Amino acid sequence: MAAATDPMLKAAALAAGRLLGTAVDETALTNDPQYRATLAAEFDYVTPENATKWGPLEPTASNYDWTHADAIVQFARDNQMAVKGHTFLWYQQNPSWVSTSLSASELQSAIKSHIQTTMTHYQGLVRAWDVVNEAVDTETESGYKDNIFFETLGPDYIADAFRWAREADPDALLFYNEIGIERVGEKSDFAYQMLSDLLAQGVPIDGIGFQSHVSTHRYPSDTDLRANLARFAALGLRVNISEADVRDTVMPGSAEARALAQRIAYQQITAACVLEPACEGITLWGFTDEYTWLQQEGDFNPLVFTRDYQNKPAYQGVLDGLRGLLPKRGNNLLRNSDFAAGVNEWTTNAGSLSVAAASGRDGNAACVDGRSAAGDGLVQSELLNQLSDGGPFAFSAWVRADMSSELDASLLIAEQDKDPREFNIATTYADAGTWVELSGYLGLGFEATPLSVGLKVYGPAAQVQLCVADVVLQPLTVE
Ligand code: XIL
């Protein structure tokens, strides 16, 4: 059976010199001919969505069930697709025998033998492995995820796993894979430091995967994404986008606005990889909404084909991204956005506002002094006319605080018969006295008739001076 329309993604990826991958669900592969046809026509890289996780592969100690994983690897071979194995060590989907009742040395030998047996079975057939997945958790005291491996072995399990994997198959590429580190920030900083330390100790890590499970209503800007990819690449790592999907249901508003926001999210994630020389590929976490893992959590439509295999606008987003095109930016919707006209058009919800030549930057900056809470900052009201249709926008501002702080931007939204809501559109962290770019993309939609929209930049603790320069809010459009 043929795919619904002429397949275009794989050829575009080839032209861009990038792999284009997808997670593969073995049940769908076996039962759904259109799934198989679309997979083979559009992609040249596959990651078993579940079949090569520890639990499915080795349900009881030393008893392996290769059936499901083998079916995927065989399909890939038959269709000239490369395979990425996923994943040896993760906190989910482990077999029940891998538990805290194992001693440290028992757990180590279980890990070692699982990695060796699996990599030997797939030697020459699997191009790369996600050796460790989601080991970082900045909510814990240590910064490491409290999984069974960390609890029993401490952080050394990570280096050991990579060393054992290299020993087992020196030809396979070894990846670290992580969720929620797409933007520069606390979690990606921790992952960056961890990987640079491991590499400095000679641990054999070839690459890093940025999962990129994002949402239309708020996601990293391309500058943020690209800066983040580039710093990991500068460590000598290959980088890839490893599990991209874009939830659209958190964003209220029309189906068209949401579809456009989703398309643009895919476009900028894909383009960020194409524009970064060390980025070797983009893997989507599935391709038809029929089988997305997010259905378990509600009625999400995060992928590039509809449930009956029609191309969505998101498909065109991936295609444009593969051509290296970033979304087009319209005019800045903010008034007096560089403070050339002093405080005109700007207010503060607490404290005092003044405009002067920015110290440490060209042009003017607006500074707010005497703030009485972290939520106090610089405000521009009356943006409803420009924003009433909703849709995707890019936001950016340069910000500086007197004390090392988290910095934020929000839209302040009032709608008919609704409680006013504050919609955070960008967050960053700045060292004291340093200008940083605060940026993000947002899909704006309204839950009811909108009455007013304002923009606020804020964040540092009470009394800390906050300065802002060059504030930009632009609608995003496509070719
Ligand atoms: C998900 C699968 O898609 C689901 O089918 C399964 O029930 C749970 O795991 N990060 C990862 C992936 O690294 O392995 C996860 O996959 C999604 C989040």
What spacing in Å lies between the alpha carbon of 295 and ligand 1's midpoint?
A: 12
Rounded to an integer, the average pLDDT of 175-179 is 99
State pLDDT tens for residues 71-102: 999 999 999 999 999 999 999 999 999 999 99
Q: Tell which one of 46, 49, 208, 294 to mutate to probe ligand 1, the residue whose CB is within 8 A of the most ligand atoms.
A: 49
State pLDDT tens for residues 431-440: 999 999 999 9
Cα–Cα distance measured from residue 265 to residue 314, given in angstroms and rounded to the nearest whole number = 8
Name the closest-CA residue to atom 15, ligand 1: 49
- Mean pLDDT, the chain, whole residue set: 96
For ligand 1, whether the C-beta of 50 sits within 6 Å is yes
- Tell me the percentage of the chain whose pLDDT exceeds 70: 99
What spacing in Å lies between the alpha carbon of 53 and ligand 1's midpoint?
A: 10
Q: Tell which one of 72, 90, 147, 243 to mutate to probe ligand 1, the residue whose CB is within 8 A of the most ligand atoms.
A: 243
Rounded to an integer, the average pLDDT of 149-155 is 98
Name the closest-CA residue to atom 16, ligand 1: 49
The 10 Å CB-count burial string (b at 16+, else e) for 29-38 is: beebebbbbb
State pLDDT tens for residues 192-203: 999 999 999 999
Band the pLDDT of 249: cuts 50, 70, 90: confident
Rounded to an integer, the average pLDDT of 342-349 is 97
The pLDDT of residue 1? 41
Looking from the CA of residue 86, the nearest atom of ligand 1 is 14
Cα–Cα distance measured from residue 268 to residue 222, given in angstroms and rounded to the nearest whole number = 6
Residue scoring higher pLDDT (217 or 377): 377
For ligand 1, whether the C-beta of 49 sits within 6 Å is yes
Name the closest-CA residue to atom 5, ligand 1: 293
Cα–Cα distance measured from residue 371 to residue 462, given in angstroms and rounded to the nearest whole number = 5
- Residues 393, 461, 179, 434: is their CA dihedral positive or negative? positive
Cα–Cα distance measured from residue 195 to residue 213, given in angstroms and rounded to the nearest whole number = 21
For ligand 1, whether the C-beta of 133 sits within 6 Å is yes
Rounded to an integer, the average pLDDT of 298-302 is 82
User: What's the pTM value of the predicted model, to 2 decimals?
Assistant: 0.95
Rounded to an integer, the average pLDDT of 301-329 is 97
Band the pLDDT of 452: cuts 50, 70, 90: very high
Residue with tokens 């994404």: 225
- Residues 134, 137, 143, 145: is their CA dihedral positive or negative? negative
Q: Tell which one of 137, 285, 290 to mutate to probe ligand 1, the residue whose CB is within 8 A of the most ligand atoms.
A: 285
Name the closest-CA residue to atom 3, ligand 1: 293
Concatenated DSSP letters of 109-122: HHHHHHHHHHHHHT
* Residue in 299, 264, 270, 298 with CA at minimum distance from that of residue 284: 270
Based on the residue annotation, tell me whether 243 is a catalytic residue of this protein: yes
* Residue in 117, 107, 129 with CA at minimum distance from that of residue 57: 117
The pLDDT of residue 163? 98
State pLDDT tens for residues 180-195: 999 988 999 999 999 9
For ligand 1, whether the C-beta of 179 sits within 6 Å is yes
Look at residue 3 and tell me whether its pLDDT is greater than 70. Answer: no
Residue 63 is given by DSSP the state B
Q: How many CB atoms lie within 10 A of CB 462?
A: 13
The pLDDT of residue 470? 98
Q: How many CB atoms lie within 10 A of CB 283?
A: 24
Cα–Cα distance measured from residue 125 to residue 260, given in angstroms and rounded to the nearest whole number = 38
Rounded to an integer, the average pLDDT of 94-118 is 97
Find the length of the chain: 479
Looking from the CA of residue 296, the nearest atom of ligand 1 is 7
What spacing in Å lies between the alpha carbon of 168 and ligand 1's midpoint?
A: 25
Looking from the CA of residue 285, the nearest atom of ligand 1 is 3
What spacing in Å lies between the alpha carbon of 293 and ligand 1's midpoint?
A: 7
Q: What residue type is assigned to position 171 of the chain?
A: D
Cα–Cα distance measured from residue 161 to residue 287, given in angstroms and rounded to the nearest whole number = 31
Looking from the CA of residue 286, the nearest atom of ligand 1 is 3
Cα–Cα distance measured from residue 225 to residue 221, given in angstroms and rounded to the nearest whole number = 6
- Residues 321, 325, 330, 332: is their CA dihedral positive or negative? positive
State the Cα angle at 356 between 355 and 358, rounded to 5°: 115
State pLDDT tens for residues 45-63: 999 999 999 999 999 999 9
What spacing in Å lies between the alpha carbon of 387 and ligand 1's midpoint?
A: 36
Tokens of 142: 């240590």
Question: Of 49, 58, 178, 243, which one is the catalytic site residue?
Answer: 243
Q: Exposed, middle or buried, 348 (CB in 10 Å: 0-12/13-18/19+)?
A: buried
Question: Of 134, 178, 182, 276, which one is the catalytic site residue?
Answer: 134
The pLDDT of residue 479? 78
* Residue in 41, 109, 40 with CA at minimum distance from that of residue 76: 40
What spacing in Å lies between the alpha carbon of 407 and ligand 1's midpoint?
A: 32
Based on the residue annotation, tell me whether 134 is a catalytic residue of this protein: yes
For ligand 1, whether the C-beta of 211 sits within 6 Å is yes
Which residues make beta-bridge pairs with 214? 246
450-458 vs 378-380, strand pairing mode: antiparallel
Residue with tokens 């910095």: 407
What spacing in Å lies between the alpha carbon of 27 and ligand 1's midpoint?
A: 15
State pLDDT tens for residues 365-422: 999 999 999 999 999 999 999 999 999 999 999 999 999 999 999 999 999 999 999 9
Looking from the CA of residue 177, the nearest atom of ligand 1 is 13
Q: Tell which one of 26, 50, 176, 241 to mutate to probe ligand 1, the residue whose CB is within 8 A of the most ligand atoms.
A: 50
* Residue in 131, 110, 113, 154 with CA at minimum distance from that of residue 53: 131
Look at residue 282 and tell me whether its pLDDT is greater than 60. Answer: yes
Cα–Cα distance measured from residue 88 to residue 160, given in angstroms and rounded to the nearest whole number = 12
Band the pLDDT of 296: cuts 50, 70, 90: confident
What spacing in Å lies between the alpha carbon of 92 and ligand 1's midpoint?
A: 9
For ligand 1, whether the C-beta of 293 sits within 6 Å is yes
What spacing in Å lies between the alpha carbon of 397 and ligand 1's midpoint?
A: 35
